Amino acid sequence: MTDTPRNLSINGPRLWQSLMDMAEIGATPKGGVCRLALTDLDRQGRDLFVEWCRGAGCSVRVDSIGNIFARRPGTDPDAPPVATGSHLDTQPTGGKFDGIFGVLAGLEAIRTLNDLSIETRHPVEVCVWTNEEGARFPPAMMGSGVYAGVFDRDETCAIADHDGVTVGDALDAIGYRGDLPPGHQDFAAFFEAHIEQGPILEDAKTEIGIVTGVQGIMWYDLTVTGAEAHAGPTPMPLRRDALAAVGGLLPKIYAIAHDNAPHGRATIGEFRALPGSRNTIPGRVELTVDLRHPDADVLAAMDRALRQAVAGVALETGLDFDLSHVWTSDPIAFDVDCIQAVREAAAERDCSAMEIVSGAGHDAVYISRLSPTAMIFIPCEDGISHNEAENVAPADVERGATVLLNAILKRAM
């Protein structure tokens, strides 16, 4: 058994440059990135990553939902790979680092192993999971969910965006519908590095988050149907105004999170009043609801509270309220041995570190169903993410990727 190299250093400037080069693809005027899943910009980002991986001596394979697997061979080809990675797709007003940091930190780990001519017994693999964000095609964590068998591949390929383009069509349009079946291999371990996307590490002046788990998420679509009518001649009591009706519901939705403070979350991210003309009474309102909590029982109670609130307002207003459940990601706990590998790697680097539960969903949630998994967080400026102002310090990027490499080595030798 070869001794495990400890406390290796990655090449911080090289990783930072790769992040900046990748951020050029879909760059927005306010300094963010818009690279929606399975668009041509996503293709360009994928192509650049594949080119870099091939340049680092990796073989590259793609599965039938577009997940990319870049493999650095190990001395034992039969050993299951130790994997890392995240996502390259972004929110519409996303930042340079959400997901991308985890993908390129994985590539930097491979580049560093090459620089040091270190051979590992297990292959080391960097994964790019398709459509983690769920912004264009719900649900989120789509590629990793198909990989883990949570979502059926063919049903997922039939999901369409607001323009009626399906996931399958979009995969074909960018040339990333591969031939590997979903879940083609297990991993010896999976480590995902990610920015925290919240303020906890920065407030605690802590360099590394040892992520012990991820909170639960529930997504819904709500459609309220009334009747379009003329804004002038229609007396107020005779209206079936879908927007006026939903106005009484919104405070009740936010109250569900406040009633379950401090961890409860409620977000209405999409909201459309149709037909969207100032002198036509809206006959239809479409909105999305995102509820979150780390405790499964509390999340179930929040779900019940939402359904009761919707039913109550529907009764009061007499309009039709159609609440459809889109997705649930249960709260999960990561693998204790992988968490320990992260903890040791951070300690060997003299990083200040703390345990943290992730408020955001990540591909590691679904991969943890198949393989021992853990995550590494680095702080982000003012805890901001899903925002073009998203920013991290180069020193934090270097530190997080260093801890990632050393955690991987603890399982790959």
Q: How far is the CB of 254 from ligand HGY (least distance, A)?
A: 18
Q: What residues are paired with 220 via a beta bridge?
A: 289, 325
Stretch in the footprint of ligand HGY (CB under 6 A) among 127-135, 147-155, 346-354, 389-397:
127-135
Assess contact for 294 and 330: CB atoms under 8 A: no
Q: Any alpha helices (H) in 175-295, and if so which ranges?
A: 200-203, 242-247, 250-258
140 binds, among Mn ion, ligand HGY, none (CB under 5 to 8 A by kind): ligand HGY
Residue, CB closest to Mn ion: 99
How far is residue 294's CA from residue 360's CA, in Å, rounded to a whole number?
11
How far is residue 162's CA from residue 176's CA, in Å, rounded to a whole number?
21
How far is residue 88's CA from residue 278's CA, in Å, rounded to a whole number?
38
Q: Which is nearer to ligand HGY, 133 or 398 (CB)?
A: 133
Assess contact for 332 and 299: CB atoms under 8 A: no
145 contacts Mn ion (rule: CB under 5 A): no
Stretch in the footprint of Mn ion (CB under 5 A) among 19-27, 91-99, 158-166, 240-248:
91-99
Of 138, 140, 128, 141, the C-alpha closest to 174 is 128
99 contacts Mn ion (rule: CB under 5 A): yes
Options 145, 361, 372, 400; binder of ligand HGY; rule CB under 6 A: 361
Pairing, β 284-293 against β 216-225: antiparallel
How far is residue 222's CA from residue 306's CA, in Å, rounded to a whole number?
11
How far is residue 377's CA from residue 207's CA, in Å, rounded to a whole number?
8
Stretch in the footprint of ligand HGY (CB under 6 A) among 130-138, 252-260, 279-287, 333-341:
130-138
Options 211, 360, 403, 408; binder of ligand HGY; rule CB under 6 A: 360
Q: How far is the CB of 361 from Mn ion (least distance, A)?
A: 8
140 contacts ligand HGY (rule: CB under 6 A): yes
Q: Any alpha helices (H) in 137-284, and if so which ranges?
A: 142-147, 153-157, 167-174, 200-203, 242-247, 250-258
Question: What's the token pair of residue 408?
Answer: 């991987």
356 contacts ligand HGY (rule: CB under 6 A): no
Q: What residues are paired with 217 via a beta bridge?
A: 292, 329
390 contacts ligand HGY (rule: CB under 6 A): no
Q: How far is the CB of 90 from Mn ion (least distance, A)?
A: 7
Of 142, 125, 119, 48, the C-alpha closest to 84 is 125
Residue in the block written with tokens 């951020």:
23
Stretch in the footprint of Mn ion (CB under 5 A) among 98-106, 176-184, 206-214, 222-230:
98-106
Crossing angle of helices 40-55 and 167-174, in 10° steps, is 50
* Number of residues in contact with Mn ion under rule CB under 5 A: 2
Q: How far is the CB of 303 from Mn ion (least distance, A)?
A: 23
What's the N-to-C CA distance of the chain in angstroms? Answer: 8
* Number of residues in contact with ligand HGY under rule CB under 6 A: 6
397 binds, among Mn ion, ligand HGY, none (CB under 5 to 8 A by kind): none
Q: How far is the CB of 43 from ligand HGY (least distance, A)?
A: 20
132 contacts ligand HGY (rule: CB under 6 A): yes
141 three-state secondary structure: coil
How far is residue 105's CA from residue 377's CA, in Å, rounded to a whole number?
12
Q: Which is nearer to ligand HGY, 98 or 202 (CB)?
A: 98
95 contacts ligand HGY (rule: CB under 6 A): no
Classify the phi-psi angles of 7: left when phi > 0, otherwise alpha if psi is within -120 to 50, otherwise beta: left
Q: Which is nearer to ligand HGY, 45 or 134 (CB)?
A: 134
How far is residue 68's CA from residue 79's CA, in Å, rounded to a whole number?
19
Stretch in the footprint of Mn ion (CB under 5 A) among 55-63, 90-98, 233-241, 270-278:
90-98
99 binds, among Mn ion, ligand HGY, none (CB under 5 to 8 A by kind): Mn ion
Question: What's the token pair of residue 349?
Answer: 């680097």
Stretch in the footprint of ligand HGY (CB under 6 A) among 128-136, 278-286, 314-322, 345-353:
128-136
143 contacts ligand HGY (rule: CB under 6 A): no
133 contacts ligand HGY (rule: CB under 6 A): yes
Options 98, 388, 390, 398; binder of Mn ion; rule CB under 5 A: 98
How far is residue 91's CA from residue 87's CA, in Å, rounded to a whole number?
11
List of residues contacting ligand HGY (CB under 6 A)? 132-134, 140, 360-361
List of residues contacting Mn ion (CB under 5 A)? 98-99
